[in-house]
Amino acid sequence: MSNDIFNFSAGPAVIPKTVLEKIHDGLDDFDRGMSITEVSHRSEAFKNYAQSSEDSLRSLLSINDEYSILFLQGGATHQFALIPMNFGTETGSLDYLVTGAWSKKASAYASSIANVNVVSDSSSNNFTDISDSSTWTVNDRADYFFYCANETVHGLEIHEPIESESPLICDMSSTIASRPIDIKKYDLIFAGAQKNLGIAGVTILIIKRDLLSRVNKGLLPILDYSKHADDASMLNTSPVFAWYVSGLIFDWIKDQGGVETMA
Protein backbone atom coordinates (compact mmCIF):
# COMPACT_ATOMS: atom_id res chain seq x y z
CA MET A 1 0.00 0.00 0.00
CA SER A 2 1.24 3.46 -0.81
CA ASN A 3 -0.64 5.08 2.07
CA ASP A 4 -1.32 3.28 5.35
CA ILE A 5 -4.55 4.31 7.06
CA PHE A 6 -4.83 3.93 10.83
CA ASN A 7 -8.28 3.29 12.24
CA PHE A 8 -8.78 4.78 15.70
CA SER A 9 -12.45 3.83 16.05
CA ALA A 10 -13.66 1.52 18.83
CA GLY A 11 -13.17 -1.49 16.56
CA PRO A 12 -12.27 -3.32 14.47
CA ALA A 13 -8.68 -2.52 15.36
CA VAL A 14 -5.62 -2.14 13.14
CA ILE A 15 -4.14 -5.41 11.88
CA PRO A 16 -0.30 -5.45 11.82
CA LYS A 17 1.09 -5.25 8.30
CA THR A 18 3.03 -8.51 8.63
CA VAL A 19 -0.20 -10.24 9.63
CA LEU A 20 -2.01 -8.73 6.64
CA GLU A 21 0.67 -10.19 4.41
CA LYS A 22 0.18 -13.64 5.94
CA ILE A 23 -3.58 -13.29 5.54
CA HIS A 24 -2.97 -12.58 1.85
CA ASP A 25 -0.88 -15.74 1.60
CA GLY A 26 -3.60 -17.80 3.26
CA LEU A 27 -6.25 -16.40 0.97
CA ASP A 28 -4.16 -17.58 -1.96
CA ASP A 29 -2.95 -20.93 -0.60
CA PHE A 30 -3.64 -22.28 2.89
CA ASP A 31 -3.50 -25.98 2.10
CA ARG A 32 -2.36 -27.59 -1.17
CA GLY A 33 -3.59 -24.74 -3.31
CA MET A 34 -6.85 -24.16 -1.43
CA SER A 35 -7.67 -20.76 0.02
CA ILE A 36 -8.41 -20.50 3.74
CA THR A 37 -11.90 -19.43 2.64
CA GLU A 38 -12.36 -22.77 0.87
CA VAL A 39 -10.88 -25.25 3.33
CA SER A 40 -13.19 -27.39 5.49
CA HIS A 41 -13.20 -26.75 9.22
CA ARG A 42 -12.99 -30.53 9.61
CA SER A 43 -9.96 -30.94 7.36
CA GLU A 44 -6.75 -32.18 8.98
CA ALA A 45 -4.97 -29.01 7.88
CA PHE A 46 -7.40 -26.73 9.68
CA LYS A 47 -7.78 -28.99 12.73
CA ASN A 48 -4.02 -28.87 13.14
CA TYR A 49 -4.05 -25.09 12.73
CA ALA A 50 -6.90 -24.76 15.25
CA GLN A 51 -5.01 -26.80 17.84
CA SER A 52 -1.84 -24.81 17.21
CA SER A 53 -3.69 -21.52 17.67
CA GLU A 54 -5.22 -22.73 20.93
CA ASP A 55 -1.79 -23.79 22.15
CA SER A 56 -0.43 -20.33 21.26
CA LEU A 57 -3.17 -18.57 23.22
CA ARG A 58 -2.62 -20.83 26.21
CA SER A 59 1.06 -19.92 26.14
CA LEU A 60 0.43 -16.18 25.74
CA LEU A 61 -2.05 -15.93 28.62
CA SER A 62 -0.72 -18.78 30.81
CA ILE A 63 -3.96 -20.76 30.57
CA ASN A 64 -3.68 -24.16 32.20
CA ASP A 65 -5.65 -27.33 31.49
CA GLU A 66 -8.26 -26.48 34.11
CA TYR A 67 -9.76 -24.28 31.39
CA SER A 68 -11.35 -24.99 28.02
CA ILE A 69 -10.92 -22.49 25.20
CA LEU A 70 -13.76 -21.99 22.72
CA PHE A 71 -13.72 -20.20 19.37
CA LEU A 72 -17.37 -19.43 18.65
CA GLN A 73 -19.53 -17.38 16.33
CA GLY A 74 -22.03 -14.75 17.45
CA GLY A 75 -19.92 -11.97 18.91
CA ALA A 76 -19.52 -10.94 22.53
CA THR A 77 -23.12 -9.70 22.66
CA HIS A 78 -24.31 -13.23 21.90
CA GLN A 79 -22.61 -14.32 25.11
CA PHE A 80 -24.79 -11.85 27.04
CA ALA A 81 -27.63 -14.29 26.33
CA LEU A 82 -25.76 -17.59 26.39
CA ILE A 83 -24.12 -17.01 29.78
CA PRO A 84 -27.38 -16.77 31.77
CA MET A 85 -28.90 -19.53 29.65
CA ASN A 86 -26.03 -21.85 30.56
CA PHE A 87 -25.47 -20.90 34.20
CA GLY A 88 -28.54 -19.10 35.53
CA THR A 89 -30.86 -21.20 37.71
CA GLU A 90 -34.57 -20.88 38.46
CA THR A 91 -34.04 -20.49 42.20
CA GLY A 92 -30.80 -18.50 42.14
CA SER A 93 -29.82 -14.99 41.14
CA LEU A 94 -27.15 -13.42 38.97
CA ASP A 95 -24.93 -10.58 40.20
CA TYR A 96 -24.23 -7.85 37.63
CA LEU A 97 -21.99 -4.83 38.10
CA VAL A 98 -23.31 -2.16 35.71
CA THR A 99 -20.56 0.32 34.81
CA GLY A 100 -21.40 1.27 31.21
CA ALA A 101 -23.25 0.44 28.02
CA TRP A 102 -21.98 -3.12 27.67
CA SER A 103 -22.63 -4.37 31.19
CA LYS A 104 -25.98 -2.59 31.12
CA LYS A 105 -26.92 -4.48 27.96
CA ALA A 106 -25.64 -7.74 29.43
CA SER A 107 -27.74 -7.18 32.55
CA ALA A 108 -30.83 -6.48 30.44
CA TYR A 109 -30.34 -9.67 28.45
CA ALA A 110 -29.90 -11.71 31.61
CA SER A 111 -33.00 -10.17 33.20
CA SER A 112 -35.17 -11.74 30.52
CA ILE A 113 -33.78 -15.18 31.40
CA ALA A 114 -33.17 -15.24 35.15
CA ASN A 115 -33.35 -13.16 38.33
CA VAL A 116 -30.70 -10.42 38.18
CA ASN A 117 -29.26 -8.62 41.18
CA VAL A 118 -27.57 -5.37 40.11
CA VAL A 119 -24.87 -4.99 42.76
CA SER A 120 -24.10 -1.41 41.70
CA ASP A 121 -25.29 0.80 38.84
CA SER A 122 -23.11 3.69 37.69
CA SER A 123 -25.83 5.10 35.42
CA SER A 124 -26.85 7.36 38.29
CA ASN A 125 -23.67 9.39 37.70
CA ASN A 126 -23.74 8.98 33.90
CA PHE A 127 -21.11 6.25 34.14
CA THR A 128 -18.38 8.61 35.31
CA ASP A 129 -17.41 6.67 38.43
CA ILE A 130 -17.76 3.26 40.08
CA SER A 131 -19.01 3.21 43.66
CA ASP A 132 -16.80 1.74 46.37
CA SER A 133 -17.17 -2.03 46.56
CA SER A 134 -18.12 -1.77 50.24
CA THR A 135 -21.46 -0.29 49.11
CA TRP A 136 -22.31 -3.06 46.63
CA THR A 137 -25.28 -5.32 47.31
CA VAL A 138 -23.50 -8.58 46.53
CA ASN A 139 -25.17 -11.98 46.86
CA ASP A 140 -22.39 -14.38 47.86
CA ARG A 141 -24.56 -17.29 46.74
CA ALA A 142 -25.27 -15.91 43.28
CA ASP A 143 -24.95 -18.28 40.33
CA TYR A 144 -22.19 -15.97 39.09
CA PHE A 145 -20.84 -12.41 39.21
CA PHE A 146 -20.60 -10.60 35.85
CA TYR A 147 -18.71 -7.44 34.95
CA CYS A 148 -17.09 -5.74 31.96
CA ALA A 149 -13.40 -4.96 32.39
CA ASN A 150 -13.41 -1.93 30.10
CA GLU A 151 -16.48 0.01 29.03
CA THR A 152 -15.42 1.41 25.65
CA VAL A 153 -18.48 3.65 25.26
CA HIS A 154 -18.29 5.47 28.60
CA GLY A 155 -14.65 4.89 29.51
CA LEU A 156 -14.73 3.18 32.89
CA GLU A 157 -12.12 0.45 33.32
CA ILE A 158 -11.56 -2.05 36.12
CA HIS A 159 -7.88 -2.99 36.25
CA GLU A 160 -7.85 -5.77 38.83
CA PRO A 161 -10.03 -8.89 39.14
CA ILE A 162 -13.06 -8.40 41.36
CA GLU A 163 -13.12 -10.48 44.53
CA SER A 164 -16.16 -12.73 44.39
CA GLU A 165 -17.45 -15.76 46.29
CA SER A 166 -19.47 -16.64 43.18
CA PRO A 167 -18.03 -17.77 39.83
CA LEU A 168 -16.46 -14.68 38.25
CA ILE A 169 -17.36 -13.90 34.63
CA CYS A 170 -15.75 -11.04 32.71
CA ASP A 171 -16.20 -9.40 29.31
CA MET A 172 -12.60 -8.58 28.30
CA SER A 173 -13.26 -7.73 24.66
CA SER A 174 -11.11 -4.59 24.69
CA THR A 175 -8.47 -5.53 27.27
CA ILE A 176 -7.59 -9.17 26.65
CA ALA A 177 -3.91 -9.65 25.73
CA SER A 178 -3.14 -5.99 26.47
CA ARG A 179 -1.43 -6.98 29.72
CA PRO A 180 -0.91 -10.14 31.78
CA ILE A 181 -4.07 -11.68 33.28
CA ASP A 182 -4.27 -13.84 36.38
CA ILE A 183 -6.53 -16.37 34.69
CA LYS A 184 -6.97 -18.34 37.91
CA LYS A 185 -9.04 -15.48 39.36
CA TYR A 186 -11.75 -16.06 36.76
CA ASP A 187 -14.23 -18.78 35.92
CA LEU A 188 -15.13 -17.44 32.47
CA ILE A 189 -13.52 -14.78 30.29
CA PHE A 190 -14.87 -13.90 26.87
CA ALA A 191 -13.82 -11.46 24.18
CA GLY A 192 -14.90 -10.52 20.70
CA ALA A 193 -11.71 -10.91 18.67
CA GLN A 194 -11.96 -7.69 16.66
CA LYS A 195 -10.59 -5.46 19.40
CA ASN A 196 -7.29 -7.14 20.29
CA LEU A 197 -7.19 -10.63 18.82
CA GLY A 198 -8.17 -10.48 15.17
CA ILE A 199 -11.25 -9.61 13.16
CA ALA A 200 -15.00 -9.76 13.68
CA GLY A 201 -16.52 -13.20 13.31
CA VAL A 202 -15.05 -15.18 16.18
CA THR A 203 -15.49 -14.81 19.93
CA ILE A 204 -12.99 -16.41 22.27
CA LEU A 205 -14.09 -17.92 25.57
CA ILE A 206 -11.84 -19.20 28.35
CA ILE A 207 -13.99 -21.33 30.65
CA LYS A 208 -13.07 -23.27 33.76
CA ARG A 209 -13.94 -26.91 33.18
CA ASP A 210 -15.56 -27.08 36.60
CA LEU A 211 -18.01 -24.37 35.51
CA LEU A 212 -18.73 -26.27 32.29
CA SER A 213 -19.83 -29.22 34.40
CA ARG A 214 -22.60 -26.99 35.81
CA VAL A 215 -24.18 -26.04 32.49
CA ASN A 216 -27.98 -26.26 32.68
CA LYS A 217 -29.51 -29.44 31.34
CA GLY A 218 -31.95 -29.43 28.44
CA LEU A 219 -30.37 -26.69 26.35
CA LEU A 220 -30.29 -27.16 22.61
CA PRO A 221 -26.75 -28.34 21.75
CA ILE A 222 -25.96 -25.18 19.76
CA LEU A 223 -26.63 -23.09 22.90
CA ASP A 224 -24.74 -25.39 25.27
CA TYR A 225 -21.15 -24.38 26.08
CA SER A 226 -20.28 -27.89 27.22
CA LYS A 227 -21.31 -29.34 23.86
CA HIS A 228 -19.10 -26.81 22.05
CA ALA A 229 -16.22 -27.76 24.34
CA ASP A 230 -16.79 -31.47 23.73
CA ASP A 231 -16.59 -30.87 19.96
CA ALA A 232 -13.53 -28.58 20.13
CA SER A 233 -15.57 -25.58 18.90
CA MET A 234 -16.62 -27.54 15.81
CA LEU A 235 -20.16 -28.49 16.80
CA ASN A 236 -21.25 -26.60 13.70
CA THR A 237 -19.28 -24.93 10.91
CA SER A 238 -16.57 -22.91 12.58
CA PRO A 239 -15.70 -19.28 11.69
CA VAL A 240 -12.65 -20.57 9.84
CA PHE A 241 -11.30 -17.35 8.37
CA ALA A 242 -11.70 -15.29 11.54
CA TRP A 243 -10.15 -18.11 13.58
CA TYR A 244 -7.26 -18.22 11.11
CA VAL A 245 -6.61 -14.49 11.56
CA SER A 246 -6.70 -14.81 15.36
CA GLY A 247 -4.06 -17.52 15.18
CA LEU A 248 -1.84 -15.18 13.17
CA ILE A 249 -2.37 -12.42 15.75
CA PHE A 250 -1.38 -14.80 18.57
CA ASP A 251 1.85 -15.57 16.72
CA TRP A 252 2.47 -11.87 16.08
CA ILE A 253 2.07 -11.03 19.79
CA LYS A 254 4.52 -13.82 20.60
CA ASP A 255 7.00 -12.38 18.08
CA GLN A 256 6.78 -8.98 19.83
CA GLY A 257 7.91 -10.60 23.07
CA GLY A 258 4.51 -11.65 24.40
CA VAL A 259 1.89 -9.92 26.50
CA GLU A 260 4.36 -8.98 29.25
CA THR A 261 6.56 -7.07 26.80
CA MET A 262 3.65 -5.28 25.12
CA ALA A 263 1.88 -4.27 28.35
Confirm whether 17 is domain-assigned. no
Closest Cα to residue 69, out of 243, 194, 217? Answer: 243
Place 13 in a pLDDT band, splitting at 50, 70 and 90: confident
Is 105 labeled as catalytic in the residue annotation? Answer: no
Confirm whether 12 is domain-assigned. no
The catalytic residue among 195, 208, 224, 243 is: 195
Confirm whether 263 is domain-assigned. no
The pLDDT of residue 2 is 56
The tally of domains found in the chain comes to 1
Confirm whether 56 is domain-assigned. yes
The catalytic residue among 95, 143, 171, 224 is: 171
Q: Structure pTM?
A: 0.95
Mean pLDDT computed over 106-118: 97
Identify whether 12 is preceded by a cis peptide bond (ω within 30 of 0): yes
Is 22 labeled as catalytic in the residue annotation? Answer: no
Is 102 labeled as catalytic in the residue annotation? Answer: yes
Domain span at residue 209 reads: 24-256
Residue 201 has pLDDT above 90, yes or no: yes
The catalytic residue among 95, 102, 224, 243 is: 102
Residue 36 has pLDDT above 70, yes or no: yes
Mean pLDDT computed over 246-258: 98
- 3-state percent helix, strand, coil for the chain, nearest multiple of 5: 35, 15, 50
Confirm whether 198 is domain-assigned. yes
CATH number of the domain where residue 208 is located: 3.40.640.10
End-to-end CA distance of the chain: 29
Confirm whether 19 is domain-assigned. no
Mean pLDDT computed over 41-50: 96
Confirm whether 16 is domain-assigned. no
Confirm whether 72 is domain-assigned. yes
The pLDDT of residue 23 is 98
